[in-house]
Structure 1
């Protein structure tokens, strides 16, 4: 009986060592270099998506206000739409009793060549991360 138990223990040890070697050969043993190749591919894809996303207009802010003292309801507004580098546009709509005017101003590096109204500046600052 003891001999049978010894043979079973040796066989189990041999199978365990074989499983550990197979795991290590597939990259299961320590370190980033030992990761499977598909994980490296996924990391490259994530880096590419982050790079693509930096150009997306993902920073935005809206400021609503009364452009004229005799009107209420905050019907006028300015919205800033910018990417990670601060490039984009500020759109403004000034609403009066009889008409509405809309303006677009280009933003580069969080700055504008044209003069911005206080509300447009506020929208730009609120959009900044």
Structure 2
């Protein structure tokens, strides 16, 4: 036993230095752990903000219900968009107009032809012929870019212009 005590006394400075080094390392580890705990606590408080005595499962289920509602709303909006897109295809989208002089004895370009077509090139050509004693307006239906009636040069021009605008 005396040998052990003498041995400890002989290496006492080294033992104290080693224990001091271990204590310093432990203090550094404790500081790092406290800092990590602080960061974890901040993240936990941020995660749990707005939760008043609710458990986490209720909160997550509430968010999932909201996600399902948003998904359903998105599907409804997409269906409404498709319906509107189909309806718009039937609306007038292509137009063209030309003014011309139908008769040499009339002074100005008072006659006209207007083409009004939808996305499928269906629609109508409206032509107004102005003369000194009378004025006539008539329409010719257009089906897929083709008229069942003969078209004048001006009417064919507005039809071609309207089709090419698409």
Tell me the TM-score range normalised by the shorter chain: 0.7 to 0.9
Counterparts of residues 25-36 of structure 1 (less than 5 Å): 25=64, 36=71
Equivalent residue for 1:74, pick from 86, 103, 109: 109
Question: CA offsets, 1:37-64, max 9 Å, x none?
Answer: 3222222211110001111122111111
What secondary structure does 1:46 align onto? helix
The yes-or-no answer on 1:84 pairing with 2:119 is yes
* Structure of higher CA gyration radius: 2
Paired residue total: 120
Deviation at 1:7, TM superposition (A): 2.2
What secondary structure does 2:127 align onto? strand
Deviation at 1:14, TM superposition (A): 3.9
Q: Which stretch of the first structure deviates more once superposed, 111-120 or 52-61? A: 52-61
Which residue of structure 2 aligns with residue 38 of structure 1? 73
Cα distance in 1, alignment partners of residues 143 and 121 from structure 2? 6
What secondary structure does 2:125 align onto? strand
| Higher RCO structure (Cα 8 Å, ≥6 apart) | 1
What secondary structure does 2:147 align onto? coil
Q: Which stretch of the first structure deviates more once superposed, 68-77 or 35-44? A: 35-44
Cα distance in 2, alignment partners of residues 18 and 69 from structure 1? 86
Counterparts of residues 52-63 of structure 1 (less than 5 Å): 52-63=87-98
Question: CA offsets, 1:1-58, max 9 Å, x none?
Answer: 9455332211234456779xx6x9565xxxxxxx733222222211110001111122
Q: Which stretch of the first structure deviates more once superposed, 41-50 or 111-120? A: 41-50
Give the TM-score normalised by structure 1. Answer: 0.78
Q: Comparing both structures, which one devotes a greater share of its residues to helix? A: 2
What secondary structure does 1:104 align onto? strand
Give unpaired runs (5+ residues) of structure 2: 1-29, 50-59
